[in-house]
A and B are shown apart, each in its own frame.
Chain A
Amino acid sequence: MGEVRTLIVDDSSVMRKIVERALRQAGLDPLVVLEAGSGIEGLDVLKASQVDLILSDINMPSMDGLEFLRQVRSQNLAPGVPVVMITTESSEEHVKQAIQAGAQGYIRKPFTAEQVKERVLPLVSAA
């Protein structure tokens, strides 16, 4: 697998590090991580850089993950790039909203590295 440039969007810097660690444990290597603390920051990163994968929280201040995802898709900022939502919200309604907004995957917090591997690797391999 070639270099995987990954954008992690989460208002918690600790969660961004935990997600990065889980991706490395999942075998995404070499991994280049770009970080954003909100949806707005995430859009700025995508305007300046190309990525192969996006992982985003949903509950964030200023712009939540669903609105971030809608903006990514409507502005065509990362065409064909898989997006996985990582969030504490686990209801079918939230999953449906994420899929409708353009997400390809959904991981509920708390999560294990194995769950990240199962949900993310197939998307990266297929992209």
Chain B
Amino acid sequence: MLLNGVRRAAVANTSVPNGRELEQRMTVSLRESVHMVADPKHLDESVNEVFQMMLGVSVERVESPLPLRDESVTAVVGFGGVLSGACVFRSGAEEAMQVAALMTGMDFTGIDDTVKDGIGEICNMLAGAWKGKVPGLSANCGLSIPAVITGRDYNLHVQAPEFQLNHRYAFNGVAFSVTIVCDGIQ
């Protein structure tokens, strides 16, 4: 899976700076504070915030791998600007339907457009919440429109990222993973 498409969209969503903003941005260097960007607690806090506020559930981080499922759902939101990369949400199809059901109050029997839309929005909010926790990143990093992939037997592979956080979470027996991949940082 290539992330270039979502990254281009994220760069396009970074607002065009005026002279003063450009100057401010040039002084922002995330590379010096990469330890803060890669701090795993930011991701855990973001996941808890989004699931608590939008679904009304508390999630806990788990170490066990995601259960094997025939069909899975992956949402990707690209980062562009001072940091390039992506936020990736992944779960089994059944788990995605349960997340969408909690969001909407509807019941689902398959991965339809509403489920994909809901999972895309969850990923969008996770990406926004995560970048909002890192000083210097919030205003200088754009988000792409979510892309959602469904299917069987596929893998996400990113070559030599600068850093990668891959956390698994669960609530009420519903397991999912959230990954932050950074492949470029200024």
A75: interface (CB < 8 Å): no
Beta-carbon contact of B139 and A92 below 8 Å: yes
**Residues on the A chain within 8 Å of B117, using CB:** 12-14
How many angstroms from the CA of A15 to the CA of B119 in the assembled complex? 11
**Residues on the A chain within 8 Å of B86, using CB:** none
Closest chain-A Cβ to B119's Cβ sits at a distance in Å of 9
Nearest residue, chain A, Cβ from B130? A88
Beta-carbon contact of B53 and A112 below 8 Å: yes
Closest chain-B Cβ to A89's Cβ sits at a distance in Å of 6
How many angstroms from the CA of A64 to the CA of B145 in the assembled complex? 11
A11: interface (CB < 8 Å): yes
**Residues on the B chain within 8 Å of A104, using CB:** none
Known A-B contacts A11-B145, A18-B54, A110-B49; A88 and B120 likewise in contact (beta carbons under 8 Å): no
Q: Chain B contact residues: over half helix, strand or loop, or mixed?
A: helix
A91 is contacted by which of B50, B129, B139 (Cβ under 8 Å)? Answer: B139
B91: interface (CB < 8 Å): no
How many angstroms from the CA of A89 to the CA of B49 in the assembled complex? 15
B177: interface (CB < 8 Å): no
B125: interface (CB < 8 Å): yes
How many angstroms from the CA of A115 to the CA of B143 in the assembled complex? 23
B124: interface (CB < 8 Å): yes
List 10 contacting pairs A-B, 8 Å CB cutoff, sorted by A.
A12-B124, A14-B114, A18-B54, A18-B104, A21-B105, A87-B128, A89-B128, A90-B138, A110-B54, A112-B53
Listed in ascending order, the chain B residues whose CB lies under 8 Å from chain A are 13, 15, 21, 49-50, 53-54, 100, 103-105, 113-114, 117-118, 120-121, 124-125, 127-129, 132, 138-139, 143, 145
